[in-house]
Structure formats: C-alpha cells, structure tokens
C-alpha cells in the first residue's frame, strides 16, 4: 500500500469509493434515509463537481493498493480534517491510520496546534484510538435529514 498526494485524475474513483463505503460501512449506525441523504448516488455528478475544488484546495492524500484507490483523506489549511474514508473491502488494515498520520504531519509542518474533525458515529472509535477527544455531539442536516456526528479534536 502506498500513500501519495491527490491528483485530479483520482476524483471519480474517490467519489465512488465514498458513496459505496458510506452505504456499506455506516449502515450499522445510520438509517437508509440518513445514508441516502449523506451519500446520494443520484447526486454523484454534483459531488464530483463540488469535491473537485475542495480536494484541490485542501491537503489531500490517496492510499493505493496495486493501483486501486483504497482510501483518501483531506485537511483544510486551518486544521479541519474534512474527509477520511477507506474502501469498504479494505477496512481494518491500518489505511486510515496511515492517511491520518500524513495529515497530522502536514498540520505540524503548518504550525497548527490542534486538528478538528466532525466524525460520524461509526468513526468515533477510530479517532478516539488515535488520540482525539469528543468536544461535542452535533446534528448535521443533509438533504433535510438529521445525522448525528461528533466534533472531535486532537492537540498536536
């Protein structure tokens, strides 16, 4: 497995990974209506257009196994972990940890003193294991559907 900087040619594969992973991995913690609001397959093209700009502007990394994208993560310049997803078939192999390490190294180089993320219920145990603390429980509204998530922070 290798970690590299995001390239625009990765975009469509990343969006497909996101859609499939949310619907498979997060279904234990969220209803079908919530999953469809969070990761709507019918809005794939809109997601591609939206993410094209943000992934380019953020510090973005991709994990690959045998040329296949198996994970991705991005960090805003002010220290917000915006996205971190691992392919549904590559869970629990240390990929998210390696992606997070890259983001934390970048944050350190930028002189940031902490990192924040809005973690899904599913992702909370991972972030806690990596030293992040819950700051608050939040409700995000996606396509008029409420989704529980957690503001988490790690001091660097």
The answer to the question of residue 31 being in a domain is yes
pLDDT value at residue 81: 99
The answer to the question of residue 136 being in a domain is no
For the chain, give the mean pLDDT.
Answer: 98
Closest CA to 86 of 46, 58, 123, 117: 123
Write the pLDDT tens digit of every residue in 14-23: 999 999 999 9
Write the pLDDT tens digit of every residue in 47-77: 999 999 999 999 999 999 999 999 999 999 9
Per the structure, how many domains does the chain have? 1
The answer to the question of residue 144 being in a domain is no
- As to burial, measured by CB atoms within 10 angstroms (0-12 exposed, 13-18 middle, 19+ buried), residue 52 is middle
The answer to the question of residue 18 being in a domain is yes
The answer to the question of residue 154 being in a domain is no
Token pair of 60 as six digits: 């973005």
pLDDT value at residue 96: 98
Structural domain boundaries, residue 11: 2-112
Instruction: List the CATH number of the domain containing 45.
Output: 3.40.630.30
Indicate whether this model's pTM tops 0.85: yes
Write the pLDDT tens digit of every residue in 65-110: 999 999 999 999 999 999 999 999 999 999 999 999 999 999 999 9
Mean per-residue pLDDT for 26-50? 97
Which three-class secondary structure string do you get for the chain?
A: CEEEECCHHHHHHHHHHHHHHHHHHHHHCCCHHHHHHHCCHHHHHHHHHHHHHHHHHCEEEEEEECCEEEEEEEECCCCEEEEEEECHHHCCCCHHHHHHHHHHHHHHHCCCCEEEEEEECCCHHHHHHCCCEEEEEEEEEECCEEEEEEEEEEEC
């Amino acid at each position: 497995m290798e970690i590299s900087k995001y390239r625009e040619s990765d975009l469509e594969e990343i969006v497909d990974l996101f859609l499939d992973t949310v619907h498979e991995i997060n279904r234990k913690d969220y209803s079908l209506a919530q999953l469809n609001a969070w990761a709507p397959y019918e809005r794939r093209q809109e997601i591609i257009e939206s993410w094209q700009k943000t992934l380019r502007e953020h510090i973005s990394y991709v994990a690959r196994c045998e040329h296949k994208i198996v994970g991705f993560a991005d960090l805003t310049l002010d220290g917000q972990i915006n996205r971190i997803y691992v392919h549904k078939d590559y869970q629990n192999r240390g990929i998210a940890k390696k992606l997070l390490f890259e983001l934390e190294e970048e944050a350190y180089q930028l002189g940031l003193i902490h990192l924040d993320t809005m973690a899904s219920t599913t992702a909370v145990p991972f972030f806690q294991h990596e030293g992040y603390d819950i700051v608050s429980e939040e409700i995000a509204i996606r396509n008029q559907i409420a989704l529980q998530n957690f503001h988490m922070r790690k001091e660097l």
